[in-house]
Structures are given as C-alpha cells and as structure tokens.
C-alpha cells in the first residue's frame, strides 16, 4: 500500500511514479491525499480531497479510526515508541465525523484508509511540499510519523516514511552539512567532539553555535545584522514567499555575491556575479537522491566562457581570504569528507561507480548500503532511543479566508517546468503553456468569468495579472498557480512568508486572495 | 489488536532462486528460473541479433530476428520471449536458423530504412542477407510537429517498442498505438492527430527504446539531414539529472561540445532506462 500525501508525483517525480505504477500492477493499493484531483490522483484507488491545511486533522482522524477499531500494532508501540498515551488521548477527540469540518474528508474514506494502512503487510507514506510548505510543516510531518509508529509501518523493507526530494541534490546538500546546525553526515555542529574532528583535520576553528536558516537570514537582514550575502545557485528574489519584501531586503544589503549559471533576477541585483558551471554536465562530483543514493555526476562538456567550477570558485575565495586550499579535485574532497562522516565512509568513487550508487549509511568498504532506515526499532530490546509520538492539534492556515480575500490560493509545480524557470525555460515542450490561474468550474461561474479572461489576483501582499483556466480537479474556493514563469506571473508576490518556527519553511501552499476583473 | 509483523531487510519475503539447466549448441548452461533462451545464449556468449527486444520492456515477438531451433518444436521460437525450461535443447547455428534470420533481415531491410539500426548491417553480412534483391525502402519526409523529437516513418519497422514504453511497460500515457492492418499498419496517435494535440507528455521514452532511429531527437534529425551525425565523434558520459530528487541516471551523448541525445541505461535501478520530459530534453540551458 502506498499513500501519496500532498504529492503530485505523476508530474513532479515522474520516474518515481513509474515505480509506483509497477507496484500497482503487482497489486499494491494507492491512496492519494491532495486538495486537487491531480493527474496522480487519477491513478489512485482512493483520493482523499483534504482541505488545504487540514492534514493534521486528517492524520489524527485516521489514527482515531485505527485505535477505535483496535488495529494499532501494540507490540511495536510498547517496544519501540514512547508518549503513546498522550497521543492516544489527543487523537480520541478527532473522530472522523468531528474532523471532517477541519480536514474536509468524508469519514468513510478516512476509515477505509485507516484499515488498509493498519492491516497492509507493507505500507509507505510518501509526501512532498503539500505537507511541508505550511506554517505548521513540522507538525504535519510528525502527524504522518505518528501514523507509521501507530501501525508499525516503519523500519521494514517496503514500509516507511518517504519525503520525496524536489531537487536533484537537496538531500546531498543536507548530507554535506549545508544546514545551519549540521556538519557533514548530519553531525551536530554544537557537539564539541564532532566539531573537534573537523577542526583538527582542517587546522581551523569552527563557530561553535548553529547558524541561521534561510528565513532567519531574512529576519537578520531586517535587523541589519546580516549585511553581506553569497548566494550559490539559488534565486531567492523569485523563489521566496512575499517577493516584494524579499527583494527589498536583498536590495538593502551592503554586498551581494551571486554564483550562478544564469543572470537570474537575484543576480541582476548582485554587486558581483560569479559565473559557475552546470553541476550535472560540466563538473565532477556526487549528488544524493531522494532514496539517499549517492551517485556520480561527471563532466561531459567544457563550460562556456569564464564559467568556473564551484570548487575552484570556493578555493579562490578562500585564497583571497587568506587560506590556500590548493586546487582540490572533487574526489579528494569527497575522500576527506568521508573520513569524518561514518554515514559515507564506505563510499569511494570506485565503489559508487561499480555499484551504480550507494544508499547511506554505508560505514565501511564492505557495506552494501542501506535500502531503508530505522530497522533497530524491530530489535528486542530496541537499541538507542525509542521513537516518540508527537501529539499535534489541528491548526488553520496562517491567513484565514474572509470577505475581503475569500479564495484560497495554493501553488505548485507543473510537469515540464521547474521552480523559477531559470533551467527549464529553454525547454520547448508543447505542454508548456502561458501561466494561468486555475479555478474550479463553480468559481468561474460564481465570478461570471470566461476561460482565458485576464484577471487580477490580489493578496494582502501584492497582485498579479493572469488569464484564468478551468481545472475540474479543483474544489470550489481553491485556486492554483505555479511559480515557474515569474517574468510574466510573479506568483510569489502573493504568497505569505508565515514560516514554520522549526523548519523555516514558508506557507507557499495557503494564501488568501481575491480575484478582480481587469478593466 | 494485531500481532507483530515480519521484520527484516526483505520484509519477510524470501526469494528462492531456482536454477534451470538446458543445452544451447551442445553446451550445458544454468540460468535462474524465469530466464529466457536469450538469457541463456547471452550467458554462453552466443551472439543473437535482436531488434524488437529490450531489457526494460515486455517481449512482443514482433521482429523474429532472434529465432532459434528448439528440439521438439515444430516451428522456430523467439529466444527473447521463450522461457528456458529444464532439459531444453536449443540450436542457434543451424541452416534453418540462419536462413530464417537472413530472410527477416532481407524483408526488413528492403521495406524500411535500417541504416541507423545498430548492428543491422553487420548482421546482414554475417547472415549473407542482401535486402536490395527484394527492393529498396521508399522515402518519406519525417513528421516534424514539435521541437523535441521527430517521427521518421520510413525507418519504422513496427517493432511495438514505442507503444510499450508509452503504455503499461513504463509511462502509462497511452498516446500511441498500432493502427491499420497489413501494409497499412502504422504507429499513430489517437485519430492520427499531431503529437502536441495528442495525449503525449513528451517524456521521449518512445525515442529512448526505438531501435532504428524512426524516432529521433530534433537535433539528431537536423544533424543526420546535414550528414553531420557521426557516432564515431560522440562521447557518452554518465551523470545524474539536474531536476527533481529522483536522481535519474543520464547518458549525455555529446558531439562537438553539444549534447545531441540523452538516454538512460536500462540497468539503472532508479530509471530502468526511462526518463521524463525534463531529464530527456531539459538540457538546452547548458548549450
């Protein structure tokens, strides 16, 4: 059984979805939880049309159903988890009937998913940004983890919790410590032992405290504590929520360096632009995919003009800052990294080549990699800490709908495009259409609009003009925009920067808007 | 209340691989149950021509170029699809096999432009096939209805691979089918509309499996038309797609510092040889 929650994988992870399709042919059951009837939902046995922001209430009502029918895995709960009682008490208030007002999902569908999930031999929950782009992103994820713990659907082959990564090395960035609180291999920067290993190896001192998340950086810019910024391969001027505000902050910096392949909107604002190589085709290295598989990228082409490899740029920057890194190769750096990261230690370039990539943890050069995690939860007794339940109450989106802004805007990706379009805008797919605001047939009629008519979509933060297009997969009251064509439709002028306090993700999935006619 | 479930790496499923022993050209060979005669031939290093077969698709037995003689079977059998059975006696190098393969090569080569079909010309000399004695294929301009790939029907040998890749062997888009009968048979979209008007999502998985270059990248077509397409000048570099987090393995085919084609190896556990529109065609920005 596969639950795709807040994920339109058919369009956003097409080759992952091939694996899902293969499982369906072998008899797996697919549930899709999404406010829209997406192309993914059309392949599902059951589609649960969750209200935007209703995920916690839905997950809690599934848990309530499991518990009320006695389908929980009590032996697993007793051995491998903690805080179950508090969780059971909290979810007891979320009967499917009561939760429907919050989640929007018919109680019979909730009970059906609950029974199938609890009784499946192997069930997996996969999610993407429909779960994480909310101001309660972490609680959304906890709610899904709770379900897996409740039914023992974790730590076994074919079961588990699987966040589908949206970019080719977002996992690898985390692996390598491109997080404010981690060193390579997810070692805590505030742990003196972990820090010490690197300090001895590098002959340098590492700041002992964790840094800022992206959203915290913008707050620090507001306070004028952050005055210089080096942006590598990111286009925050168009990708961040509440774009007007973000552009103002970037413009107010003393010094902005942008290292990119393209002269992006952010690069246009930069003091200095460093032209870089295309990672996948013009440089050597590794990336880590969504299943934690480290794979090699290789240079197939010489980079154009003055474009330089990221490694070269960083080494030159270090040199000018008074430290000579020499001219390290990607492999030499990788070998240094894995010396200190137990998760990666067994992954030499030779083994990555021979095995077609390796999934971490891979602690030594005999280890074959790890297709799944958390197997220890099935050991008797459990080694290490038990997995805690995190009871979470339903929360409404940060911005409530009202008479002034009565429609819910949610944003997402389309098949042939990618993020702010800098890479994909040269892709001449006939499927790429001019961006349009997708509305339900009911809203189109209620607003007396015609398909193709240009409208102004306004939120409390900004407005964009865009033609409307009917999507029969949308429920009444919900409208959809992608953020792929910011040059013509600057969607993130509308979105809200309400962020999750722990993860720092903004609520791209839920803004309040109204539609005005363009005169 | 439920009891605990089986644990472990294989989720409690134990795969037992039974081995089967058969004989190919007088040599004994053991292959796992479920293998085909073709697998057994490969294991012995017996060179077998194939056109409609692909590792990542269900065999359709369309081309018959892989036929072998099977003791006890009245007809020749397609080695790509016939499952190996214990005590089978297979012969690949008999007069009957050779003349059948020769005939298939001549029929194909005289009706379809097979010049870009991998080993075709080598097989013709190996089997003494002379397609031209039966006639030469007619020419027709390629159908160009989008900027990503073209359809050159004069090269289409009706092997079904594209239909399978578009359908339930991989993509589940079902944009193309075999239409017509006999001499009128061809691969077409619904109502024969152009690809942009069809259900096509432009993943190019049909292009990826096409054995004859009936389906070509637009750039490949331009280079071929100009007589500049040159496999000898191409390098193939394995890397990873720059888009979503699935991590699809790409093979970048580069000629003259330009990407001219993108494929994925069929033995990749991530892709099984299939890609989406961005992985297949979304590299224009590095040119």
Domain boundary among A287, A306, A337: A337
Euclidean distance between CA atoms B276 and A20, whole angstroms: 15
pLDDT given for residue B14 in this prediction:
55
Print the SS3 string covering A141-173: HHHHHHHHHHHCCCCCCCCEEEECCCCCCHHHH
> Is A61 within 8 Å of A94 (Cβ atoms)?
yes
The answer to whether residues A155 and A175 belong to one domain is no
Residue B108 has pLDDT above 90, yes or no: yes
Q: Does A381 sit behind a cis peptide bond, omega within 30 degrees of 0 on the bond before it?
A: yes
Say which CATH number the domain at A447 has.
2.40.40.20
Give dist(CA B1, CA B249) in Å, integer. Answer: 44
Interface of B with A in 28-67 (CB under 8 A): none
Residue A2 burial (10 A CB sphere; 0-12, 13-18, 19+): buried
Q: What would the pLDDT profile of A445-457 be if each residue is shown by its tens digit?
A: 999 999 999 999 9
A204 touches chain B (CB under 8 A): no
DSSP designation for A414? -
Residues A187 and A329 in one domain: yes
Domains B18-137 and B149-286 agree in fold? no
* Contact criterion met (CB < 8 Å) for B285 and A278: yes
**Alpha-carbon gap: B91 to the closest alpha carbon of chain A (Å):** 35
Please name the residues in contact with B166: beta carbons below 8 A apart, sequence gap of 6 or more: B173, B174, B175, B176, B200, B205, B206
B285 touches chain A (CB under 8 A): yes
C-beta atoms of A262 and B9 within 8 A: no
Instruction: Give the pLDDT score at B9.
Output: 40
Q: How far is B169 from chain A (nearest CA, A)?
A: 8
CATH number of the domain bearing residue A231: 3.40.50.740
Indicate whether A73 belongs to any domain.
Answer: yes
User: Does pLDDT of A404 surpass 60?
Assistant: yes
Q: What is the model's pLDDT at position B1?
A: 37
The residue among A159, A193, A209 that closes a domain is: A159
A103 and A219: one domain? no
Cis peptide before B178 (omega within 30 of 0): no
The whole-angstrom separation of Cα A387 and Cα A77 is 9
CATH dotted code for B149-286: 2.20.25.90
**Is A381 exposed, middle or buried, given 0-12, 13-18 or 19+ CB atoms closer than 10 A?**
exposed
Classify B18-137 by CATH class: alpha beta
Contact B240 A158 (CB under 8 A): no
Q: Model confidence over A452-504: pLDDT tens digits?
A: 999 999 999 999 999 999 999 999 999 999 999 999 999 999 999 888 888 88
DSSP letters, A355-401, are HT-EESP--STT----SSS-GGGGSSSPSSPPEEP--------SS--
What is d(CA B195, CA B114) in angstroms, rounded to the nearest whole number? 24
Q: Which of A299, A321, A337 is the last residue of a domain?
A: A337
Residues A28 and A155 in one domain: yes
pLDDT reading at B176 higher than 70: yes
Together in a domain, A87 and A188: no
Q: How far apart are CA A53 and CA A6, in angstroms?
A: 10
Within this chain, do residues A206 and A316 fall inside the same structural domain, yes or no?
yes
Same domain, A40 and A151: yes
Whether the CB of B180 is below 8 Å from some CB of chain A: the reply is: no
Pick from A74, A121, A291: CB nearest B5: A121
Whether residue B6 is predicted with pLDDT greater than 70 in this model: the reply is no
Is residue A371 in some structural domain? no
Alpha helices, DSSP H, located in A177-300: 192-202, 214-222, 236-239, 243-251, 265-268, 279-282
Contact A165 B286 (CB under 8 A): no
Q: Is position A309 within any domain?
A: yes
In this structure, what token pair is assigned to residue B122? 């080598």
Query: Do A225 and A311 reside in the same domain of the chain?
Result: yes
User: What value of ipTM does the predicted structure carry?
Assistant: 0.94
Residues A188 and A114 in one domain: no
Asked if the structure places residue A275 within a domain, the reply is yes
Contacting residues of B for A119, CB less than 8 Å apart? 2
A408-420: average pLDDT: 93
0.90 surpassed by pTM: yes
Is the confidence at residue B2, as pLDDT, over 60? Answer: no
Domain annotation covers residue A361 = no
If you average pLDDT over residues B208-230, what whole number do you get? 97
Instruction: Say if strands A478-482 and A407-412 run parallel, antiparallel, or are unpaired.
Output: parallel
**Rounded to an integer, what distance in angstroms lies between the CA atom of residue B207 and that of residue B194?**
16
Q: Residue A140: which CATH number? A: 3.40.228.10
Report pLDDT for A493.
Answer: 92
A384, part of any domain: no
Cα gap B47→A355, rounded to integer Å: 26
Residue A425 falls within a domain, yes or no? yes
As a residue count, chain B comes to 287
Q: What is the pLDDT of residue B13?
A: 53
Say if residue A141 is in the same domain as residue A17.
yes
Each residue of A59-102: pLDDT tens digit? Answer: 999 999 999 999 999 999 999 999 999 999 999 999 999 999 99
Those of residues 12-31 in B touching chain A at CB distance below 8 A are: 12-13
Residues A248 and A174 in one domain: yes
Q: Structure tokens of A386?
A: 């038990």
Tell me how many domains chain A contains.
3
pLDDT digits (tens, 9 = 90+) for A174-220: 999 999 999 999 999 999 999 999 999 889 999 999 999 988 999 99
Are B244 and A18 within 8 A, CB to CB?
no
B244 in Cβ contact with A165 (< 8 Å): yes
B248 CB within 8 Å of a chain A CB: yes
Using CA coordinates, name the residue in chain A closest to B269: A356
> Mean of the pLDDT values across residues A105-127?
98
Task: Provide the residue range defining the domain that includes A492.
Answer: 407-517
User: Does residue A389 form part of some domain?
Assistant: no
Write b or e for each residue in A332-350: b if 16 or more Cβ atoms lie within 10 A of its Cβ, otherwise e. Answer: ebbeebbebbbbbbbbbbe
Residues A192 and A132 occupy one common structural domain: no
Rounded to the nearest integer, the mean pLDDT of chain A is 95
Q: Where are the domains of chain B?
A: 18-137, 149-286
């Amino acid at each position: 059984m596969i639950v795709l929650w807040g994920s339109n994988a058919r369009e956003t992870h097409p080759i992952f979805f091939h694996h899902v399709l293969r499982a369906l042919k072998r008899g797996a059951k697919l549930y899709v939880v999404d406010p829209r009837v997406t192309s993914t939902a059309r392949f599902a046995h059951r589609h649960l049309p969750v209200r935007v922001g209703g995920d916690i209430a839905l997950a809690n009502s599934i848990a309530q159903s499991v518990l009320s029918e006695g389908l929980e895995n009590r032996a697993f709960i007793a051995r491998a988890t903690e805080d179950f009682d508090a969780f059971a008490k909290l979810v007891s208030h979320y009967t499917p009937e009561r939760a429907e007002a919050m989640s929007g999902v018919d109680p019979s569908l909730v009970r059906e998913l609950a029974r199938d999930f609890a009784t499946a031999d192997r069930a997996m929950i996969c999610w993407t940004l429909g779960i994480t782009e909310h101001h309660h992103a972490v609680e959304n994820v906890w709610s899904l983890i709770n379900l897996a713990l409740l039914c023992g659907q974790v730590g076994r082959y074919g079961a588990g919790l699987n966040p589908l990564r949206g970019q080719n090395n977002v996992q690898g960035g985390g692996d390598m410590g491109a997080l404010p609180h981690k060193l390579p291999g997810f070692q805590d920067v505030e742990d003196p032992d972990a820090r010490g290993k690197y300090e001895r190896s590098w002959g340098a001192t590492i700041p002992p405290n964790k840094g800022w998340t992206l959203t915290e950086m913008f707050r620090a810019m507001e306070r004028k504590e952050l005055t210089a910024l080096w942006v590598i391969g990111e286009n925050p001027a168009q990708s961040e929520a509440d774009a007007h505000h973000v552009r103002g902050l970037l413009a107010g910096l003393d010094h902005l360096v942008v290292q990119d392949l393209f002269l992006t909107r952010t690069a246009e604002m930069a003091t200095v632009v460093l032209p870089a190589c295309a990672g996948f085709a013009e440089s050597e290295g590794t990336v880590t995919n969504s299943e934690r598989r480290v794979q090699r990228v290789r240079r197939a082409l010489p980079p154009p003009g003055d474009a330089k490899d990221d490694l070269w740029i960083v080494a030159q920057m270090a040199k000018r800052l008074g430290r000579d890194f020499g001219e390290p190769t990607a492999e030499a750096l990788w070998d240094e990294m894995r010396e200190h990261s137990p998760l990666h230690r067994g992954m030499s370039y030779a083994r990555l080549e021979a095995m077609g990539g390796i999934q971490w943890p891979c602690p030594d050069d005999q280890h074959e990699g790890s297709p799944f995690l958390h197997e220890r939860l099935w050991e008797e007794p459990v080694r290490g800490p038990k997995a805690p339940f995190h009871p979470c109450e339903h929360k409404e989106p940060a911005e409530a709908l009202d008479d002034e802004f009565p429609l819910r805007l949610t944003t997402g990706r389309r098949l042939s495009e990618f993020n702010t379009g800098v890479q994909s805008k040269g892709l001449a797919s006939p499927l790429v259409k001019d961006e349009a605001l997708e509305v339900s047939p009911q809203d189109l009629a209620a607003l007396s609009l015609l398909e193709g008519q240009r409208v102004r979509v306004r939120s409390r933060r900004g407005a964009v003009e865009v033609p409307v297009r009917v999507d029969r997969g949308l429920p009444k009251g919900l409208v959809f925009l992608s953020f792929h064509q910011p040059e013509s439709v600057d969607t993130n002028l509308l979105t809200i920067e309400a962020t999750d306090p722990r993860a720092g993700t903004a609520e791209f999935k839920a803004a309040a808007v109204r539609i005005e006619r363009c005169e | 209340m439920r009891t605990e479930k089986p644990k472990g790496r294989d989720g409690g499923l134990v795969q037992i691989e039974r081995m089967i022993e058969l004989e190919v050209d007088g040599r004994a060979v053991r292959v796992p149950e479920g293998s085909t005669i073709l697998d057994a031939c490969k294991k012995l290093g017996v060179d077998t021509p194939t056109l409609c077969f692909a590792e990542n698709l269900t065999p359709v037995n369309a081309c018959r170029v892989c036929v072998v003689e099977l003791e006890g079977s009245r007809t020749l059998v397609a080695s790509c699809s016939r499952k190996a059975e214990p005590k089978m006696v297979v012969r690949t190098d008999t007069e009957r096999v050779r003349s059948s393969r020769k005939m298939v090569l001549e029929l194909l080569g005289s009706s379809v432009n097979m010049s870009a079909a991998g080993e075709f010309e080598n097989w013709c000399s190996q089997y003494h096939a002379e397609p031209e004695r039966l006639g030469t294929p007619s020419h027709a301009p390629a159908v160009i209805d989008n900027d990503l790939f073209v359809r050159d029907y004069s090269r289409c040998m009706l092997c079904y691979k594209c239909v399978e890749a578009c359908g339930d062997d991989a993509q589940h888009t079902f944009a193309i089918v075999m239409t017509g009968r006999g001499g009128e048979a061809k691969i077409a979209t619904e109502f024969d509309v152009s690809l942009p008007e069809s259900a096509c999502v432009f993943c190019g998985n049909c292009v990826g499996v096409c054995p004859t270059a009936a389906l070509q990248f637009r750039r490949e077509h331009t280079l071929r038309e100009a007589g500049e397409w040159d496999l000898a000048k191409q390098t193939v570099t394995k890397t990873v797609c720059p888009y979503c987090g699935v991590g699809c393995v790409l093979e970048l085919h580069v000629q003259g510092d330009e990407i001219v084609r993108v494929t994925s190896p069929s033995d990749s556990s991530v892709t099984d040889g299939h890609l989406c529109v961005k992985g297949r065609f979304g590299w224009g920005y590095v040119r």
